[in-house]
Structure 1
Amino acid sequence: MPLLDELQALRRDWAFALDAALARKGWTRAERETLTELLCDAAGELLSADDGDKALKALFDKHSDVDFDTDRTEGLQAIKEMAEWATGLDLGDDEGIASEEDLLQRMQQRMQAAQAEQAEREAAAPRRRKSAAEQRREAEAQQATQSVREIYRKLASALHPDRESDDQQRAHKTALMQQVNQAYEKNDLLTLLQLQLQIEQVDAAQLGAADAKRVKHYNKVLAEQLAELKAEINRVELGFRIDFRLEPGWGLKPTKLGEQAARETQRLRAELAEVKRDIGRLDDAPATKRWLKKVRRQREEEEAFDLDFDPFF
């Protein structure tokens, strides 16, 4: 984080160094245009993350054809139109949309409203006769839920703290009952079965002797629970990989994470050195002119391939 903060501060210095360079004479029209584009790209990138920097915003407005607020509004409008085209939603007027987060929230609200309307239409539509397979699946789901409910009722009856006169036992049962309630809310059959074993309502032999129909219900609930847990693991792992720049398939081991942190530190230090070098080069007009020529050529190639240009390279 200290390196990232230092890098952001240095990128800000880079934008103002470009402004100082533009104030000097001797640039061709093409060179001046490139310097201006670099400045606006750099300042705009920084302001997108933090638009509270008044001096940086004034610098952007000084060199851009349109002020930053207008530029951002136009950018949000373009994103909004693309989102409407892609989703088929009407996202309404622009009032209340000041950032991409606002736009995303508006989109989520409209999607939820559209889903609710669809559900109402489906509920009002004439109901078709369910197939035998659909009826069987619904019956199995109902029976699986009934199995969870039966175990919950047995545990609740055995662990009801108000029926216990001993204070220590009452506290123990209260704690267990909290676990039972949490497991029931999550439809967590495995935890409920473990609690049954823990309080000796059943033993392993009884579970092993359960009839095939009941075991089938248990397996169905446990399979659904397993799928939910796997999905949650994948979600947490994806967020972890994004935070630490870990590619998919890259093993999640503490020693490797330390290596990755060391590589990221090295990358940030190299980027800091590069931005410092770029700032220092602006004092050398011939070197800057050669560099600007390379920048223009790179931009032309990226535009030909429709690639995004990174103002910090």
Structure 2
Amino acid sequence: MICLPKNGKPDIFFPFILSILPMKIATTSQRNNTAPKSKIYAKYEKLLAEIEKQKQFKINMAEGLQKAYTKIEHDLLPLEDEAQLLMRDFLIRVDELATQIGVGKYNEEYLVNYMGNELDSLLDIFGHQDAVLSKLHEKYTGYSLDELAADDDAVGLAKSISELVGVDIDVKEMLKKGQEAYFEEFREKFAEQINSRREDFFNNLDTEAENKKKKPGTKKVSDETADIAKDARGIYMRLIKKFHPDLERDAELKEQKTEIVKQVTKAYQENDFFTLLKLQLTHIDDNETDVAARADNMLKHYIKLLESQLLELNQSIHQIHYSNGTTVADFIDKNGKFSPQKFSAQRRRAEKQINQLKTALADSKKRPKGWFKEQMSMIKDIVMQHMMHDMFGDMFNNFR
């Protein structure tokens, strides 16, 4: 609701913006049903409907993300941990057989490419403190831990994170512990720094806003809210005058007007501007063209505010969605709700990967040569797919 004090001068602006969100759009109208709605009123209704829809989406998403977190923690993470350990064993076994059986010059390039990429991913999880993986990584990439810590990309990443959270990042320590474990360990410290920065940011905004109030020519917000108060008062007086039941002799019409006056009075007393505006638009007669024109002029002004509110709401949804990580966000459906179907599909994929890795490792013991040959064929296919994606992915994206 728009907060209009009894003196008629609004004292805040943002509650007005937020007040429009719970508005419900009237599905019936007391206006002449044959009279078409103006384009501006149709746009107004559409914006309110979209805001209501996005508001509900945001509520659903907050609840859905919480459900996703709980399900991931209890059901999915244990499976992913098991799959990662099995993948570690798989890479170690591939290296063992490559050493024992030999790869050949032609296949060596594919093996090096594949092992390097897979070990990069696993080391983000296990870290270089896993001596076996660290040695394998150095074998296939040619880089030691000290060389990786001095790499421009790693240093640049650490610098970017440091600037973001206000905490110095030790590159070597991050690589040694693994990125996931490192950031989990310092999660509370990072959160504390981010919250502190956010608080400083909003304090600065408040200071700037206070300084602007003291300068001439910065009365836009107060003027705008004063206009709202004036419009609300004008609508209230117009409707009360038009539908005052004491001026009606017909008993049935008197009852109808009494109900309208109750609605108008309630909306005005509760500082609910948009309900007042809706009541005016609902009860405009076909011959009141001047009132309709004034209402449309009001709507043009308030539609700009509604569009701004919708933009802010969509930006807020986008920020919430993508700040929670793709793994979590992947389980949110088109209505913002947690999707059990999507989660079940991901769990089945994790279970399938575990079964495949277990079968592959068992098979590598039974028939090492045949198994290794099959794995090299698979590795070549994977590397070729990645190469094709790297070569043509950007090209295809440019055509979209």
Deviation of 1:22 after TM superposition, in Å, equals 2.8
Amino acid at match of 2:390: E
Aligned counterparts of 2:110 and 2:133: Cα–Cα separation in 1? 19
Matching residue of 2:222? 135
Looking at structure 1, the residues matched to 199 and 150 of structure 2 have their Cα atoms a distance apart, in angstroms, of 25
Match of residue 348 from structure 2: 266
Give the aligned partner of residue 94 of structure 2.
Answer: 18
TM-score, normalization by structure 2: 0.42
Deviates more, 1:111-120 or 1:70-79: 111-120
8 Å contact kept, 1:10–1:275:
yes
Task: Give secondary structure in 2 for the equivalent of 1:24.
Answer: helix
Structure 1 letter corresponding to 2:271: V
Equivalent of 1:215 in 250, 257, 271? 271
The TM-score with structure 1 as length reference comes to: 0.51
- 5 Å-filtered alignment, 1:222-261, equals 242-243=327-328, 245-249=330-334, 252=337, 257=340, 259-261=341-343
Q: Where do 4+ consecutive residues of structure 1 move more than 6 Å?
A: 89-94, 109-126, 205-208, 217-220, 226-238
Deviates more, 1:70-79 or 1:231-240: 231-240
Aligned length: 233
One-letter code aligned to 2:217: R
Q: Alpha-carbon deviations, 1:237-257, whole Å to 9, x = none?
A: 88599537335416747xx61
| Structure 2 counterpart of 1:270, one-letter code | K
Structure 2 CA distance for aligned equivalents of residues 287 and 293 of structure 1: 10
Q: Which runs of 5+ in 1 are unaligned?
A: 143-204, 308-313
* Residues 97/38 of structure 1: CA separation in 2 closer, same or farther (3 Å cut): same
Contact 1:43 1:56 in 2 (8 A): yes
Alpha-carbon distance change, 210 to 290 in structure 1, aligned in 2, over 3 angstroms: closer
Q: Hey, what's the Cα distance between the residues in 2 that align with 1:247 and 1:93?
A: 31
| Coordinate RMSD, CA, aligned | 5.3
**Does 2:143 match 1:56?**
no
Q: Tell me, in whole angstroms, the C-alpha distance in 2 between the residues paired with 1:94 and 1:240.
A: 21
User: Residue 96 in 1 paired to residue 169 in 2?
Assistant: yes
Contact 1:44–1:60 (CA<8 Å) still a contact in 2? yes
CA deviation after TM superposition for structure 1 residue 139, in Å: 5.6
Taking the TM superposition and a 5 Å limit, the aligned residue runs for 1:1-313 are 1=76, 2-51=78-127, 52-68=129-145, 70-71=147-148, 74=151, 75-79=153-157, 95-98=168-171, 99=174, 101=183, 105=190, 127-131=215-219, 133-137=220-224, 209=265, 212=268, 215-216=271-272, 242-243=327-328, 245-249=330-334, 252=337, 257=340, 259-276=341-358, 279=361, 280=363, 283-284=369-370, 285-306=372-393
Deviations 1:249-276 (Å, cap 9, x if unpaired)? 16747xx61x444323321222223334
Moved more, 268-277 or 241-250: 241-250
Superposed CA deviations along residues 11-64 of structure 1, whole A, max 9, x for unmatched, are 111121122123124322342232233223222212212324333223323432
Which residues of structure 2 form unaligned runs of 5+?
1-75, 230-260, 277-305, 395-400
Contact 2:80 2:350 in 1 (8 A): yes
Q: Retained in 2: the 8 A contact 1:15–1:39?
A: yes
Which residue identity is paired with 1:300?
A: M
Assess if the C-alpha contact under 8 Å between 2:83 and 2:354 holds in 1.
Answer: yes
Q: Which has the higher contact order (CA 8 A, sep 6+)?
A: 2
Deviation at 1:291, TM superposition (A): 3.0
Task: Kindly indicate whether the alpha-carbon contact (under 8 Å) linking 1:3 and 1:269 is maintained by their aligned counterparts in 2.
Answer: yes
Q: Give the C-alpha shift of residue 289 in structure 1.
A: 4.1
